[in-house]
A and B are shown apart, each in its own frame.
Chain A
Amino acid sequence: MTDLTFLPDRTALEAAGLGVRYRRGGWALRACSFRLPAGRVCALVGPNGAGKSTLLALAAGLLRPTEGRLRVLGGEAGDPGVRPRVAYLGQDRPLYPDFTVAETLRLGRELNPGHWDQAAAERLVHGGNLSLHARVGSLSGGQRTRVALALAFGKRPELLLLDEPMSDLDPLVRHETTAALMAEAAENATTVLMASHVLAELDAVCDYLLLVSDGRVRLAGEIEDLISAHRLVMGRYEDAGTPREFAAHTIVEARTTGRQLTALIRPDGPVRGHWEIAEPSLEELLLAHLRAPGAPALLTPSAEPRTPLDASPKAAA
């Protein structure tokens, strides 16, 4: 019972040199390489248009990569053997508006013969005070999300891909849904990859992080390890540029306000000088990286791809 749910040697997702080009030029994702161990609850974070939804759609088998590859649960994304083991909640929550809730769940049962859990799906729907006979088209946004989540849960997936799962849920339903999601993860060691803007939604829920911006992977790994690899350094500093004693470390971001310097660094050995040193919060870590697009990427050892493509450029610094 005290075994952790994650299985570090098993891989849920592994990208090597992954790239997706829009039809009209420009890259949604470029040269992405990372690994997500099985059993993790991973936050997929990044600004709008960073490529989060593209990455989730690739993993769900809805898109084909332009270059590189994405392996899902040991197979290629979209393989007939992989599809039944992956569930996906799209941002637009596509559902048939003229189906009733019961018919929508029947859709899940019909399309997943042998591995459909009607009870799990109905639990989510009943929790939302939803009538099984209501037309999907007459539901509110939050209720539609519940039905879409029920379809995803009913599949009993090994990998659950959620695109902005809580965006249109009220606080109570958000709490209930997160609890249901976590209970599912606890019971079946489901790997969860969850894209979100709302950092408060992710804290305490996720133990793994994937930060993407401009189509690139910026940070990947255990949240604890990523945080402890960084230090927030504050102090009085009035010269131009960054202090000389920082040269030994990787500077993610340095800002000067009046006489005060605030920097987020990746220390390599002890930090010299009279600085106030603190461990950054998850939010500070993410914001600093988003403000500093030039900072090198950081992947913890477990997030490094195990089987990289020879030809593909690695995103790791």
Chain B
Amino acid sequence: MVEFRIDRRSGVATYLQIVQQVKQALRLGLLAPGDKLPTAKEVVAATAINPNTVLKAYRELDREGLVEGRPGLGTFVRRSLARPGAAADSPLRAELAGWMDRARAAGLDREDVAALVASVLEDTRFDDPRGPWGGGPEAGNGRARTGNGTT
């Protein structure tokens, strides 16, 4: 089970925060295939957000093939995002830790490091076509319309 943490001041749409947190849990192995996601009622009872937001996030995850809704039962994880390379004891992590030490030795502070990492991330092409924020506001709008039409 995951627990969502909604930050109302982050500027990130609430449903995206849920999508990201589920993905994060999938990456870290907190959620594994077959696990049940909390129901919309459980989520809103804990976070006091609009239930449609939760359902929209679950739809998004469903669309990406990460979860599936089984009518009357709930929403279940279909596949994991955990990769060997991202685990806590992976060689990649050790390398990154070593790089951090060198950066600190070179006099960079926390914000310098963050800016550097962000700029390298920006210049690197990943295979995800949608970018880190899952599309712009127009895409969000389009999804709302689909939601309207299908119920």
Please tell me if the beta carbons of A206 and B50 are within 8 angstroms of each other in the complex.
yes
Please tell me if the beta carbons of A1 and B40 are within 8 angstroms of each other in the complex.
yes
The answer to whether A205 and B49 touch (CB under 8 A), given A2-B69, A187-B41, is: yes
Task: Please tell me which stretch of A57-65, A221-229, A255-263 contacts chain B, meaning at least 4 of its Cβ atoms lie within 8 angstroms of it.
Answer: A221-229
The answer to whether A203 and B52 touch (CB under 8 A), given A2-B69, A179-B44, A228-B138, is: no
Any A CB within 8 A of the CB of B70? yes
Please tell me if the beta carbons of B6 and A204 are within 8 angstroms of each other in the complex.
yes
Interface residues of B, dominant DSSP? helix
A185 to B40, CA, bound (A): 10
Question: Beta-carbon contacts of B11-54 to A below 8 Å, as 1s and 0s?
Answer: 10010000000000000000000000001110011111111111
Count A-side interface residues using an 8 Å CB cutoff: 35
The answer to whether A186 and B14 touch (CB under 8 A), given A207-B50, A227-B137, is: no
Give the one of B6, B41, B59 with max A CB within 10 A: B41
Question: Which of B14, B45, B58, B149 is within 8 Å of A1, CB to CB?
Answer: B58
Any B CB within 8 A of the CB of A180? yes
A228 to B145, CA, bound (A): 12
Any B CB within 8 A of the CB of A143? no
Residues of B within 8 A of A205 (CB): 48-50
Top 3 A-B pairs ranked by shortest CB distance?
A: A186-B51, A182-B44, A178-B48
Chain A interface (Cβ within 8 Å of chain B)? 1-8, 39, 41, 175-176, 178-183, 185-187, 200, 203-207, 222, 224-225, 227-228, 279, 281, 302
Give 5 new A-B contacts, CB below 8 A, not counting A6-B52, A41-B51, A179-B45.
A1-B58, A2-B75, A183-B45, A225-B145, A228-B137
Chain B interface (Cβ within 8 Å of chain A)? 6, 8, 11, 14, 39-41, 44-56, 58-59, 62, 69-75, 137-138, 140-141, 144-145, 147-149, 151
